[in-house]
Amino acid sequence: MNPWIGWALAAAALAAGWFGYGLRGVALAVTVIAFWLLLQFNRLVRVMRTAADSPLGHVDSAVMLNAKLHAGLNMAKVLALTKSLGRKHETSEIYTWTDDGGAAVSVSFANGRCASWVLTRPGE
């Protein structure tokens, strides 16, 4: 979700709570916002825990990862797809995942979002 939309929804919830129920409505809106933030944090921690338990830069199938990628995916969603942390290149924000067959997917990130990716197979 775009952060601006999230902040706008939070402000709208606070305004609706104030105009609808006064201070009790604001308290309810703050509670709902805090619950939503905890859900998002829990989801991110679960993805990171799964990625930490997997080998670095390994994916079950690089071809399937290539098929599921699209421009604009954020890093957390790519980690959820791969279930592993990628191997970072030294000079840029490029991460690589390989499978047991030797195929590899290199994903380039710009501002935390997937900008481009390249599938390389053994023998190419």
Question: What pLDDT is stored for residue 3 in this prediction?
Answer: 79
Question: What pLDDT is stored for residue 109 in this prediction?
Answer: 93
Question: What pLDDT is stored for residue 31 in this prediction?
Answer: 96
Which residues pair with residue 96 across a beta bridge? Answer: 87, 106
Question: What pLDDT is stored for residue 92 in this prediction?
Answer: 85
| Parts of the chain belonging to CATH 3.30.1450.10 | 62-120
Question: What pLDDT is stored for residue 66 in this prediction?
Answer: 94
106, 115 contact by CB (below 8 A):
no
- Rg of the chain, C-alpha, whole Å: 20
Query: How many CA atoms, within 13 angstroms, populate the side-chain half-sphere of residue 13?
Result: 15
Question: What pLDDT is stored for residue 61 in this prediction?
Answer: 93
Given 3.30.1450.10, 3.40.50.1220, 3.40.50.1370, 3.90.550.10, which CATH number is that of 62-120?
3.30.1450.10
Alpha helices in 22-105 (DSSP H): 23-52, 62-68, 75-82
pLDDT exceeds cutoff 80 at 1: no
The pLDDT tens digits for 92-120 are: 899 999 999 999 999 999 988 999 999 99
pTM: 0.78
The pLDDT tens digits for 34-80 are: 999 999 999 999 999 999 888 999 999 999 999 999 999 999 999 99
Q: How far apart are CA 27 and CA 35, in angstroms?
A: 12
